[in-house]
Structure 1
């Protein structure tokens, strides 16, 4: 949870799905159980690797991967049954497998995420699923998790989000039934619920701008020229920077998260679409804001789901400012798992390219060149 709390709605939701069910009978529930055990094993492995727990890190990681494989197998079997496929436990299992991959810095997260999206679509899409759900708060919690996982996966792969696409994202902010009254986005991910569609707009725009056509192909009919892309990028840059929550003052971690991701989105637009160099004063100003806020969050044990902004900001830094980036990563290690190692590696490789004046000195190119297809939050 991005916002520390005695109550953890995600843990409660998973326990509610597991408890009260006869063990070994429901495939979806068993898939969820195995995935949760896998998540715990990955965390134990990371603690062992840092000398904070007894036992072998490699052994714990192998156990985690065994649980993950078993969960994935059970989920595949559960998806063959219409009854199991409409059980929230199946959606929860898919999300939990993704979490194993996030914590372990694994590469196979696309498969469980695709399963999760197929489960959602098989139930009529997000809005219909919520309207028909007999446990709407639980269903919304799981949907929100899957939607955010997809959003960050699309950032990595330069793809357009589907669950938060403008044509279907009415479910995100609107109440779909009288029972659909709760959202846990803010405490779970540390940003305003109403800001997420704005972030999705940027991710979708960048994906379309970076992939208008394959190399060597003629421009397709209706493809916007480069000048139009730049104009839209500048408009989106201003729009995301001007955004503010309609409710006024947000909780401290949520307000910080909004500002952090606003500045990260603006850096992405400047660097990837408008081709502004990393040493540009405006880029540096955005990066400075991100690092200052992230360090404060890390020191307050509120660093969950802030790795991407640090990757984006850290990849722009030079000289003594790089010490600040490393300090942020170190402060994050208390609440992260192996994904922090991947995040730091990406930034270090960008720095090496910048210092050696090599081409493709940016985080996306480093990930592509090193086949780092990781889901990081």
Structure 2
């Protein structure tokens, strides 16, 4: 992955984690609102020095998390979301808050599962259970401490509250385990689907290659060449030219008759190999039919194009097909230039006429039809 992609991914992750932190901060604000309601109804003692210190510590802890997320230092941790840390801190603050309540304590038990829900989709089952145990033993320890201090108002109610909390936490732990297992299955299926999609894309590329190439020579076929040439002609700018040539292997029928069709196939393959070595990466060569080939050279002129075709003709005349002894290999070329607003069929006709002239003039030569091209 490139550095720019990594920065984009980290920016998106940072924004997502800040939104999750915003949800946690909003939950703290709602709990503060509940405390205000309890304070107005005399269910919570007025905030003295200890209460103000408690509120300040809560705000300071959330400020610390905000700084971590804002500066990106949370990315140094194994879990950049810091979900477990946020849940543990929230459970500690909630347990300390419940110590200040007496009659309204049971109503605030619902905040325990509310805090735990933040980790259902993020925490591993064993980590979730660890947080659930902290919540349970924290609340149970609070009641045991009050019972030991003889400050527990109603032990029966306390036992009922502890039991309900235990049931809820066990259910949430099982649910979190189920959710994580479901996420693993979905992730595995997504990976499998991605692998199938990659396979299908590879098969599609193979089918496209088969549909676009000549099986014997590995060059483009006629249909694909016409498609590429049409695109190149549409993209042609004024004042520039594309070179277009029709190439015919001389006396190819005689090669088949004397040496057999296997030898003829080897000669066609030899031409394809020689042509690839002589042409640039952006040049387009295709088998036009039988022993005839078509060549398109983007952005060239008369001299460059003629030199390229002559180089190809000379290289083929010196080629030696592997496993076959064929003397006097040669080819004939008919050349023209494509110009802006030119018609591809007309240009092919010009090249064909030039090829016909090369054949009539004795073969093994390159003949041009420049006169039909605008200066």
Answer whether TM exceeds 0.5 for this pair.
no
Greater per-residue strand proportion? 2
Structure with larger Rg = 2
Higher RCO structure, 1 or 2 (CA under 8 Å, sep 6+): 1
TM-score category, normalised to shorter length: under 0.3
TM-score by length of 2: 0.24
TM-score by length of 1: 0.24
